[in-house]
Amino acid sequence: MKITYYGHSCFGVEINNKHLLFDPFISYNELAKGINVNAISADYILVSHGHEDHIADAVSIAKRTNAIVICNWEIHVWFQKQGITNTHPMNTGGKKMFDFGSVKCVKAEHSSSLPDGSYGGNPMGFVVESSDKNFYYAGDTALTYDMKLIGQYRKIDFAFLPIGDNFTMGVDNAIICCKDFIHCSDVIGMHYDTFGYITIDKQEAINKFNIQGKTLTLLEIGQTISK
């Protein structure tokens, strides 16, 4: 499994030779100026909710790559209106098998509206299980007790968790999430530093995880790692 960071909450994950792209917000992100959006591969684009900082590049990448867009029903309807017809609508609680593995949509405690102000349905997180590894992509969410269900019935090898606070959970709640709820020691941080509201002390965040025997990885934008 290969993971590439494109800034904010956007990651490319390569599983079994398929390219998944989560929450594309790249060309509008000042910190991601070094990324060539037109060079990003995608067989699937997974969109957690409708906010601009998760969907801004989704239409253009979907048009270029003809990737299947996985999202909730309301966002699926919005994509159809943008001329993107290769969508796979899902909703919270639903699980579906794809050629790379399965996706289960889980609750995210947040809000969701689309860039034109239309209703974005419920925000979601994704649990991806594959023959390679299992991971949880939390999307934008508060710490919520429902996360206990995610860790109780499957092994989560690693998790993408928001750590920027203000709009989502911050570092301390992300530690509770991985320690007590999803039982996962390996966290990749997201949703921090992009805007002034969510600037964090990165070394302090890493240290806080280490004290609890957990690993927080903060990737450089453009960096690729293997899992």
Select 74 or 140, whichever has its Cβ closest to Ni ion: 140
Total binding residues toward Ni ion, as defined by CB under 5 A: 2
Question: In angstroms, what is the minimal distance from the CB of 186 to Ni ion?
Answer: 24
Select 89 or 115, whichever has its Cβ closest to Ni ion: 115
Decide: is 51 part of the binding site for Ni ion (CB under 5 A): yes
Residue 203 in tokens: 């070394």
Question: In angstroms, what is the minimal distance from the CB of 137 to Mn ion?
Answer: 13
Binding residues for Mn ion (CB under 5 A): 51, 53, 140
Q: Which position among 14, 43, 129, 140 is part of the footprint of Ni ion (CB under 5 A)?
A: 140
Decide: is 104 part of the binding site for Ni ion (CB under 5 A): no
Residue 98 in tokens: 């794809």
Select 41 or 92, whichever has its Cβ closest to Mn ion: 92
Question: In angstroms, what is the minimal distance from the CB of 215 to Mn ion?
Answer: 24
Decide: is 109 part of the binding site for Ni ion (CB under 5 A): no
Question: In angstroms, what is the minimal distance from the CB of 218 to Ni ion?
Answer: 20
Nearest Cα to Cα of residue 114 among 154, 59, 159: 59
Question: In angstroms, what is the minimal distance from the CB of 145 to Ni ion?
Answer: 20
Select 9 or 87, whichever has its Cβ closest to Mn ion: 9
Select 101 or 162, whichever has its Cβ closest to Mn ion: 162
Residues in contact with Ni ion by CB under 5 A are 51, 140
